[in-house]
Amino acid sequence: MNYVAFSLKQALEIRKATKARVMAGGTDLMVSAQRGEGMMPRFEGDMLLISHVDELRHIGFNASGELEIGALCTSAQIAGDSRVPWALRAAASRMGAVALRNCATIGGNIANASPKGDLPGPLYALDARVRLLSVDGAEEMLVSDFILGLKKTKLKDDQIIGAIIIPKMDEWFDYIFWHKIGTRRANAISKLTVTMAIKLDQQRKIVEDFRLSATACGAKTNRSREVESLVIGKKVQELEDLVAPVQEAFDKVISPRAMPVFRRTATKNMIADFFSRVARLPEERNME
Amino acid sequence: MDIKDPIKRMDALAKARGETKYLSDYRFEGALYSRMLRSSIPRGRIVDIKLPALPEGYRLITYKDIPGKNALQMITADWPCFAETDVKFVGETIGLLVGPDRELLQKLFDQIEVEYEAQEPAITIAEGLACKGGAFLNGNNVHCSLSLQKGEDIEAVFSRAYRIVEQEITTGFQEHVYLETNAAVCTKEDGRFVIYASAQCPFYIRKSVCGLLGLKPDDIIVRQTATGGAFGGKEHFPDVLCGPLLVACYVTGKPVRLVFGREEDIANSVKRHPSRVRFKTALDKDGNILGMDSEVVYNVGAYLASSFVVLQRGCFHVTGCYSFPSERTKGIGVATNTYPSCAFRGFGAPQTLFAIETHMNYLASLLGKDPLEFKRRYLIKKGELTITSGPIIEDVKLVQMLEQVLKASGYAEKSKAYAIGSGKGIGLAFYNHGGAFTGNGESAIIKAHVKLVKHLGGPVEILCGQTEMGQGFQTALRKIAAQVLEIPPETVIYDNPDTSRVPDSGPTAASRSTMVVGNLVYKAALDMKRRIDAGEDGFEVETVYEHPEGYPWDQSTFQGVAYLGYGWGVCAVEVEIDKRTAEPVVKGIWTSHDVGHPIDELICHGQVNGGVVQGIGWASTELLQNIGGHFKQTSLSDYIIPTSMDTPTMSVEYVDNPYPWGPFGAKGMGELTFNGSAAAYVDAVSRAIGKTINAIPIPSEVIMDYMLDKEASR
Ligand SMILES: Cc1cc2nc3c(=O)[nH]c(=O)nc-3n(C[C@H](O)[C@H](O)[C@H](O)COP(=O)(O)OP(=O)(O)OC[C@H]3O[C@@H](n4cnc5c(N)ncnc54)[C@H](O)[C@@H]3O)c2cc1C
């Protein structure tokens, strides 16, 4: 059976009762179910189309000042909203091409758990959480905990992703780096994407926080708090000396199967580039 | 009005509105669907085909159903319609499962099991030449070969050379990526077999498949349906669909339809030949080229089909736009267990043109000379001999074209400003393309006919076999007739060809349609104009190709004037490489082409845009690996063609160089525009990263390898 939900309540009830698989923009699902020329895509089991559920389409700050992005927000919507942190906007703005960006949703991108998906990278680095809804209530967890591995998540069969929550950070980070190496400049699958963020203290001398994630060089997006701790608390002036230890430590975290030399070298080069730029304390905050 | 002034394309509106019917839009009463059963191994013997119980109306058509000869008559007839006992490549047609319901057909198809006795395949050029797994053709895996020699014996030149430089250059497979996948239907109308196909050459199809039923070409009608792109991939390849469909239609008495899916099409269709070109060049002590020897090897795949002609053209273009005192080349078409390679825009010329440009750049960098100055000294001129020892018989305007490109691109300043290895580079290439069939092929092999009809009290109609496939020919040819007849082009009728209605004017291939067929229409129109002016109405004019006297060609020795007119090109490409990630960005493209005289500058502009980008794709992102006989990149997210986002605005210029035997002075240009951008792009990347690059494609991970490779320094 195929179901179409017109409200969140209805969607959750159908999901609970039937365990039907959720379809949002369908840009992953329809491709995966294609069966050749002239034949309709076919799915095993029931499907639940949620793309009419308007409650999941908002972007806005919640009571505690965190940014909430509804699961059905499209890449185009995210890319065009200045409240969204730059790295996530940049990632959304470079997904697929125009038509795709009007269909693809952030919920779908996370639930699909592709190691090459574009949105988890910035979301990992930002400590973003996913809110999972069901008839029986809501739960929240880090996106990085939610995604277990290649095409695997912690989504339970009565749950729907409701929103993605980006924690409040005073003026976000001082410097954000995001760079996607795509197979080309549009409709490009990531060969490697690196997101980094640095927060400085008030005097702009000490690194108060540092984040580093890399996509498309392992079964899922990589992030390591241990590696990040090598930088946190260090002086900005020392950043360039930290390039080598950070590179080495992060090199052990990533596990590219294909094109390892390329992926490892480019990752190293991007870390080195970001550190050397930040060490000069430039005005520009967003770096690609 | 000058013929070159652009007009609205005749097919544009219907295509933009989605009104044009492509093959998959046609419905045939009682038609059967079909699925191709193909070999899943690159080499071996079919032991058994296990079929599920087939319900009434479902049937697997195999070679046993062929009443005539099991061969597709392409240029050679070695490619069977259905494999019998042996399979030689992954994707080789074993059978065609037909039936009325698509769902059930698919279900049955998925249950078919073919049992093989596998043998060790040869996939690469090196493996083919080494007869890996034992030779499977002629004892040496050589499908075809040829040798050419101009001037003094090259061995003598080597013996007195001051320095000899050797270089090996390779290119990879390329997929055509026409928008519309391959598709055809075979049916019976009034007792005759009628084939509808998305195809370039309806007359080729007739000839190729008629023998399967022991028929003559005239017994079969082929109707071209609106064709959504081809690039050579629908020159001979439609035969591979139409043959089995014809047999199936004959067996079942029903219309049978076959439309490839995209991945099916990429995985199971012909490609551009991978190549390996080895140069050996003799220099004197001042760095002048005394002579150049080369070996050109193309990976033909399992069957020869059209590849000998492709290889010949490759060899004819191996010295590019240059003339050296002594030249020799040897061409080899090697058999491997890969999908047969076939026609693709440029037809063998792009591989050698890429190689010679890259080699010239290499020589210049070894000699510490400016590559452009180095190349300029050898640019061929009117009257000088090509490698087939025949003269160039037209003015060569490359120097003038170069000036245009230099001025538009700022090449001189940029090539000085961008230090080698600086991450920025500008590259430049010269290229050409011999128009139409080689030598006297147009008169000896093709013998094109066209008809122009003045309907009584009605419009003028063009009857010829030339096909529109997106290149704009239905507009160009109408323009030619209309300009002569002094009537509006949109009043001229020119439908997609039906072989029972139109004369055979030869294939829509070899950049010959405007140059050769256009001229036949031009001549017919002149005659028609005279008769209309004299008051005649309701008549036909037929013209037949005649080769001009005085330009001999010997097809057995490949000696003489290979081409009466070449298209010529100069292209500059500027790139910037991200030193962190090895990502290239094309910053600018500047071109000039000699196409004789353009028939419609906007159509020509489209050809330049498309050809140049397709060439850069071939050199950069279009990696197509064959692993164990299987193409690895079979979807459009894996097989990476450039997008408009990857392509900057292009500078497009021409020189006027009217061709005496072309309509309004026009020459061929469809393939020309592909032939040079790869070399210019690679030259630019090579300068930007300071490394010698001698293999394409070079996606960013390969550029990274070059950057990390100390040995490759230039
Ligand atoms: C041409 C093309 C280009 C593409 N380019 C890119 C690209 O550049 N970068 C990139 O990352 N991806 C790309 N994709 C993949 C895809 O578009 C994205 O992953 C997209 O974000 C998926 O969202 P969707 O809404 O279409 O997901 P759907 O296909 O609807 O669903 C995907 C998965 O998520 C689940 N799901 C969806 N919504 C929810 C929810 N609210 N709760 C629980 N589960 C849910 C579904 O059950 C399914 O398992 C591309 C796809 C195409 C076809």
Residue B401 lies in a domain: yes
> Which H or E run contains B320?
none
Residues B216, B236, single domain; the answer is yes
Burial B557-571 (b: 16+ CB within 10 A, else e): ebbbbbbbbbbbbbb
Last residue of a domain, one of B267, B299, B321: B267
Residue B536 sits in the same domain as residue B564: no
CB A270 within 8 A of CB A179: yes
Range of the domain at B186: 30-119+176-267
Per-residue pLDDT band at A169 (split at 50, 70, 90):
confident
How far apart CA B332 and CA B306 sit, in angstroms, is: 14
Residue ending a domain, among B267, B286, B321, is: B267
B550-563: average pLDDT: 96
**Amino acid occupying residue B490:** E
Answer yes or no: are the C-beta atoms of B538 and B456 closer than 8 Å. Answer: yes
CA separation, residue A76 to residues A97, B66, B244 (Å): 10, 56, 47
Nearest to A181 among B642, B646, B700 (CB): B700
Among A38, A187, A272, the residue with its CB nearest the CB of B643 is A187
| Domain final position from B221, B251, B267 | B267
* Per-chain mean pLDDT for chain B: 97
Residue in B33, B260, B643 nearest the CB of A184: B643
- What's the confidence (pLDDT) of residue B29? 95
Contacts of residue B711, defined as CB under 8 A and 6 or more positions apart, other chains included, come to: none
Convert the pLDDT of each residue in B581-621 to its tens digit. 999 999 999 999 999 999 999 999 999 999 999 999 999 99
Adjacent-strand bridge partners of A149:
A152
Could you tell me the distance, in angstroms and rounded to a whole number, from the CA of residue A108 to the centre of ligand 1? 4
Same domain, yes or no: B294 and B377? yes
B216 Cβ contact list (under 8 Å, min separation 6)? B210
Which residues, 6+ apart, have CB-to-CB distance to B299 below 8 Å?
B124, B125, B128, B273, B274, B275, B334, B336, B338, B341
Regarding whether B446 and B433 lie in a shared domain, the answer is no
Beta carbons within 8 Å of A185's beta carbon, 6+ residues apart = B643, B645, B646
Determine the distance in angstroms separating the CA of A179 from the nearest CA of chain B, rounded to an integer. Answer: 10
| A49, β-bridge pairs | A4, A23
For residues B217 and B290, state if they share a domain: no
Q: Note whether B255 and B283 are same-domain residues.
A: no
Q: Is residue B298 located within the same domain as residue B342?
A: yes
With respect to residue B17, please indicate whether it lies within any of the assigned structural domains. no
Report pLDDT for B630: 98
**Whole-angstrom distance, CA of residue A105 vs CA of residue A113:** 13
Residue B198 falls within a domain, yes or no?
A: yes
pLDDT at A170: 58
In this structure, the answer to whether residues B430 and B455 fall within a common structural domain is: no
Whether residues B323 and B220 fall in one domain? no
Rounded to whole angstroms, how far apart are CA atoms B125 and B147?
19
Within a domain: B2: no
Question: How many beta-carbon pairs under 8 angstroms link A with B?
Answer: 70
Indicate which CATH number applies to the domain containing B516: 3.30.365.10
DSSP secondary structure of A255-275: --SSSHHHHHHHHHHHHHHHH
Q: Beta-strand (E) ranges in A114-189? A: 129-134, 137-142, 147-149, 152-153, 160-166, 175-182
In this complex, is the C-beta atom of B642 within 8 Å of any C-beta atom belonging to chain A?
yes
pTM given for the model:
0.97
The pLDDT value recorded for residue A270 is 97
d(CA B293, CA B326) in angstroms, rounded, equals 8
pLDDT digits (tens, 9 = 90+) for B330-358: 999 999 999 999 999 999 999 999 999 99
Share of chain B above pLDDT 90, in %: 99
Q: In a mutagenesis test of the A interface, which of B616, B645, B702, B708 is the best target, namely the one with the most A β-carbons within 10 Å? A: B645
In a domain? residue B406: yes
pLDDT for residue B714? 73
Q: Is the pLDDT of residue B580 over 80?
A: yes
Q: How far apart are CA B604 and CA B589, in angstroms?
A: 16
Q: Does B181 touch chain A (CB under 8 A)?
A: yes
Pair of tokens at residue A6: 């017109």
Counting from 1 in the atom list of ligand 1, the atom nearest the Cα of A109 is 21
Give the ipTM of the model, two decimals please.
Answer: 0.95
CA distance A250 to A213: 9
What pLDDT, on a 0 to 100 scale, did the predictor assign at position A38? 85
Q: What are the tens digits of pLDDT across the range B396-423?
A: 999 999 999 999 999 999 999 999 999 9
HSE, side-chain direction, 13 A CA sphere, residue B182: 27
Closest Cα to atom 2, ligand 1: which residue? Answer: A96
Sign of CA dihedral B409, B410, B412, B414: negative
Number of domains in chain B: 3
DSSP B99-162: ES-HHHHHHHHHH-EEEEEE-----SHHHHHTTTTS--STTT-EEEEEEEEESS-HHHHHHT-S
Tokens of B627: 């692993």
Q: Do A184 and B640 touch (CB under 8 A)?
A: yes
Q: Work out the pLDDT band at B510, boundaries 50, 70, 90.
A: very high
CB of residue A174 inside a 6 A radius of ligand 1: no
Dig out the tokens for B491 from the structure: 């009043």
Closest CA to B194 of B570, B493, B500, B457: B500
- Please write the tens of the pLDDT for every residue from B61-117: 999 999 999 999 999 999 999 999 999 999 999 999 999 999 999 999 999 999 999
Together in a domain, B535 and B568: no
Alpha helix segments (H runs only) across B561-676? 601-619
Residue A12, pLDDT > 70, answer yes
**Listed residue (B178, B307, B224) closest to B505, CA to CA:** B224
Residue type, A26: G
User: Region A182-191: what's the mean pLDDT?
Assistant: 95
B166 within a domain of the structure (yes/no): no
> Is the Cβ atom of A285 under 6 angstroms away from ligand 1?
no
Instruction: Please indicate, yes or no, if residue B714 is contained in any of the structural domains.
Output: no
User: What's the pLDDT score for residue B605?
Assistant: 97
Question: Are both B510 and B600 inside the same structural domain?
Answer: no
Based on the fold, state whether residues B632 and B614 are members of the same structural domain: yes
The number of C-alpha atoms within 13 Å of B465 and in the hemisphere containing its C-beta is 26
Domain membership flag for residue B394: yes
- A168: pLDDT strictly greater than 90: no
